[in-house]
A and B are shown apart, each in its own frame.
Chain A
Amino acid sequence: VTLMTEPTHTPKMVLIVEDEEPIAIALAMIVEDAGFTVACASNGRIALTLIHQQQPDLIFTDLMMPQLSGQELVAYLRANGFTDLRIVVMSAIEKAHMRVPGADALLPKPFSLEEVDAILREFLG
């Protein structure tokens, strides 16, 4: 009976990799409100552990972080078989200067709710 009550399709999972806590909280709230499961990591190393454990569908990652930077994280993931994982790179750097090979989208800061909505719609549908 218990097996029957479990949902047949698990909600998609989003991982937020951001060392700025207020941004991580706001973003988590938006994503959760849109109906997705959320996990947060404050640096690239924690993010890697979580990715291996929980297999997220979408990652929002900051570029400049302690331990493992955004570029390094994206490079590692793309090199290690995470080809279906959608990666959105957030940064305070000017969009024209963000060169992140392997990223699916670039989200320059400061971004708005509408921009996050658009990304979620596009990648998780």
Chain B
Amino acid sequence: MKRMVNVLHGIEDRLRPWLHAILQAVQMRLVTLLQWLRHLTGRRVWGLVTVLLCLSAFNGLFFASNIQTVMDREGWVRHTLTVQGRIDDLTIAITQAVATQRAYLLTGDTTYLPPNATSVQMIPADITQVRQLTSDNVDQQRALAALQPLITAKLAEVQQTIALRQAGNASGALQVVVQNEALHLTQRIQQGLRSMRGTENILLRQRDAAAQSALAEAITAFVVGLLVLIGFFIAAGRLTQIYLRQRERLAAERLTQLEEEQRLRQTAQDALSQRDQLFGIAAHELKNPLTALTTTAQMAQRLLAREPVQNPRLAALLASQTQQARRMSSLVEGMLDTSRIVNGVFTLDKKPVNIAELVQEVLNEVQPTTTIHTLQFAKPREPLWVQGDAARLGQILHNLLQNAIRYSPDGGTIVISLTTQEDAVILAVRDQGIGIPAEALPHIFDLAYRATNVRRYSVQGMGVGLYVTQQIAQLHGGDVRVRSTEGEGSEFCVTLPCLIPAPVANLPMSPTTHALPS
């Protein structure tokens, strides 16, 4: 054991600078590892911790088992040394017994007798001990068994000669001692004991070598295990670094991407708002030339009408010019309304409006513009009040009537009705025109949408009318809905919140509410 400690100390001295460096590296890796662990999900953390624990536990157990082996082998070495000690004890005891016997026989000095008796007494015990200690060794047992009768004989000779001398027969005693047989016996005993000791020496060398190699193995295994652990730590640290760097790079990339996206969005928004503004300005700037165009054409018509000789072709041209100028004005209004809605500056001047009266006024304005369409409207007797912008509400009806006229190229009756439903007013415009294809119905209120069948009838427009109409209705807290069958006509229903709910019974346009009980 002491040898092993010495060996370990030697190794430690050599390894200390290395261990120091390794510990520092491990500490640093541990810090990055902990940083990494914070970023990892639970499953990965436990996986890593498990791997680390397994590695450490395996290394510890392996080291412990190796140390056990080393200690076992050291035990055998100790055992051999003990055996050698007992053999030496036996040798000394025999040598002393013979020496004190000789001295007493020659001198007759009785002081030699007690040590002689002690040695003689010790010998059987020593033999027993050696036998017990070498019980696992057949060779030694055999050698000891061969020696035992010789030793017994020798001890018998010693006791016999001492007894002779004590009885006064000194020469007889000496005669026994110098006998060839007695000398030979001593020699054989000493030879046998040397041989036994030699056997133990060989064993000692073998066992010592085994113990040394076990220790070397244990240390090697431990160092290798430690290196593997350290390697794992270093790899984990390296991975952490790579992972963190990757994360940083990804974050930076994402940020750049985000900035680029924001920049693009801003550019697009700027372009859009610039476009919308330009759109508004352009529409606005068109108003001056349109004023001049409208008034000059109308004035020319007036002057022509006063001429004594009629000129129908010139009159037709001027009428067309006036009509086109009016149309252009309404297109410009549509553009401006769209621009205001899109830019969020579409404002309403809300006041209580008698919608029944307003509808009548608009119809009076629109009826003269067509000769082939009949506008049919039964004005409710009671006023119907709506909180809204009269001009804008009129615009809704204007747009719907214009569409009804435009999309009924063969003329016909256009029925306008005004009804109430709970606390809402419903203004409906029903025509018998070309109708709207089913697939177009969900889109007709979209900006710049034009149904597929309008081209067939060469009806022109920008596709802003219904968009503006819907927006105005919604700004009044209302809604516009459509029902249409292609080829049979369309019905647009504008729902507006009623300011003062009118009694339903007074509405002639809703006869269904008076269904007779059967």
Contacts and interface: CB of A to CB of B under 8 A. Distances in A.
Interface of A: 20, 22-23, 25-27, 29-30, 33, 90, 92, 94-97, 109-114, 116
A109 B299 contact: no
Interface string B288-312: 1111111110110011000000000
A58 to B, nearest CB: 17
Contacts of B299: 26, 29-30, 33, 113
B219 to A, nearest CB: 96
A95 B391 contact: yes
A110 B294 contact: yes
A97 B349 CA distance: 10
Contacts of A30: 295, 299
Contact of A112 (B284, B298, B303, B332): B298
A26 B302 contact: no
Contact of A110 (B287, B302, B347): B287
A110 B349 contact: no
Contacts of A33: 299, 302-303
B491 to A, nearest CB: 31
A112 B292 contact: no
B321 interface: no
B296 A110 contact: no
A26 B325 CA distance: 15
B405 to A, nearest CB: 19
A27 B295 contact: yes
Contacts of B347: 96-97
Nearest to A111: B291
Contacts of B302: 33, 113
A109 to B, nearest CB: 4
Contacts of B141: none
Contacts of A22: 288-289, 292, 296
B295 A111 contact: yes
Interface in B248-307: 284-285, 287-296, 298-299, 302-303
18 contacts: A20-B288, A20-B291, A23-B288, A23-B295, A25-B292, A25-B296, A26-B296, A26-B299, A33-B299, A92-B285, A95-B391, A109-B290, A109-B291, A111-B294, A112-B298, A112-B326, A113-B295, A113-B299
Contacts of B290: 109-110
Contacts of A94: 336
From A26, A29, A90, A110, residue with most partner B Cβ within 10 Å: A110
Contacts of B295: 23, 26-27, 30, 111-113, 116
B298 A23 contact: no
Contacts of B354: none
A90 to B, nearest CB: 8
A25 B289 CA distance: 12
Contacts of B389: 96
B250 to A, nearest CB: 52
Interface-centre pick from B292, B332, B389 (highest chain A CB count, 10 A): B292
A112 B302 CA distance: 13
Across the A-B interface, give the 9 residue pairs with the lowest CB-CB distance, nearest first: A113-B298, A22-B292, A110-B290, A92-B287, A26-B295, A110-B291, A109-B287, A109-B291, A26-B296
A95 B332 CA distance: 15
B329 interface: yes
